[in-house]
Amino acid sequence: MTKKPLEGIKVLDLTRVLAGPYCTMVLANLGAEIIKVERPGSGDDARAFGPFVNGESIYFVSINRGKKSIAVDLKSEEGKKLLLDLIKEVDVVTENYRPGTMEKLGLGYDVLKEVNPKIIYAAMSGFGHSGPYSQRAAYDMIVQGMGGIMSITGQPGGEPTRVGTSVGDITAGLFGAIGILSALYGRNLTGKGQKVDVAMLDGQLAILENAIARYTSTQEVPGPLGGRHPSITPFETFKTKDTWAILAAGNNALWAKFCKAVGREELIDDARFANNGDRTKNHDILKPILDEIFVQKTTAEWMELLNKVGVPASPINTVEDLFKDPQVEARHMLVEVEQPKVGKIKVAGNPIKLSTIPAEQEVPMDPAPSIGQHTEEILKSLLGMDEDGVKKLMDTKVIE
């Protein structure tokens, strides 16, 4: 078994639902040991989110595989003491409570760093641990709306449209993982830990890229453009004979290749379309011309023709299509895992490909845990607790 880069790093994971668990899933894929701290009885809220197979949440399974679960009542004094003892034995603690919650429990960063000066404390929240919105509640769609991404998504003149995946949570999880890795590297240099503060709203602004550049330079407010790129043309979706296709001619050379491939060389020398700026300026003239071209062939025919000459083009795949795509299969981006009570299911693979890690080791193959499945194991192995000590805590409902 090849050693992964984060093997030996222990993460005490107090997060739930998506942003935090997605972050710790990334760390687990890279070899970290994730000790998931859950509420006795109900556990992570995501356990109640569908779809379900034989009563098991596949949503929960998909982002919590390979983690260990301990169930601790953090509102009890014994539970808090237990957490502080565990803090001494781990490298990272993650949480995605509303700011101030950990402080109310007596478990904020200022307390934890006294217990373990090397601890990396990573907090993911809707609006961060500073600023006037800090105490507001947030979900993915809240920050998609506030962060501007919904204002540039959808069809022109249409209703505000949520991005089809939870980009508010997921970007926070990714930035959280990057922050943790940076802090771990910093600890190697200084010997000290630090706090990582990641806000979902900040993440949405960070990925607006072109929209911020356009507003900064023109003072015009960007809006939704459907399947079109705001500053590259042609770079959008087109109706074909049977479905839809994407053409992405990102420079003059690709534009010329496309024109030759479709037998419309006269468009290359047309002054209205001479360069990208001209094509974008005259998009309303060019689009109907291209619409007439694309509707003459099926999507499959366009893919064969355009990919053959090196013009970037693609179909618009459904999720079902991905399960049959040879590139997805070649990159091991849908991985079969086995889950108790469920059987074999496919989950997303690890997009971080490291040359030292074989494909079959890129994601943990251990299943997602049941609530408190590893409580006894963790308390004995990390804290040296004996059978009587564990039983006493279970009898008093401090742990499960």
What would the pLDDT profile of 255-290 be if each residue is shown by its tens digit? 999 999 999 999 999 999 999 999 999 999 999 999
- Among residues 229, 283, 332, 374, the one annotated as catalytic is 229
Q: What confidence score (pLDDT) does residue 1 get? A: 73
CB 293 within 8 A of CB 263: no
Tokens of 27: 């760390």
Tokens of 41: 């009885």
332 classed as catalytic:
no
What would the pLDDT profile of 341-353 be if each residue is shown by its tens digit? 999 999 999 999 9
Q: Topology of 235-239+244-315 in CATH?
A: formyl-coa transferase, domain 3 (3.30.1540)
Q: Where in the chain is the domain with CATH 3.30.1540.10?
A: 235-239+244-315
Residues 282, 364: Cα–Cα separation, whole Å: 51
CB 44 within 8 A of CB 16: yes
What would the pLDDT profile of 198-255 be if each residue is shown by its tens digit? 999 999 999 999 999 999 999 999 999 999 999 999 999 999 999 999 999 999 999 9
* Reported pTM: 0.95
CB 365 within 8 A of CB 66: yes
Contact residues for 190 (Cβ-Cβ < 8 A; gap 6+) = none
Q: Where in the chain is the domain with CATH 3.40.50.10540?
A: 10-207+328-395
pLDDT lower than 50: segments of the chain: none
Give domain 10-207+328-395's CATH superfamily.
Answer: Crotonobetainyl-coa:carnitine coa-transferase; domain 1 (3.40.50.10540)
83 exposure class (CB count in 10 Å sphere: 0-12, 13-18, 19+): buried
Q: What confidence score (pLDDT) does residue 144 get? A: 98
Produce one character per residue of 258-285: b if its CB has 16 or more CB atoms within 10 Å, e if not. bbebbeeeebeebeebeebeebbebbee
> Which residues are registered as beta bridge partners of 120?
92
Q: What confidence score (pLDDT) does residue 118 get? A: 98
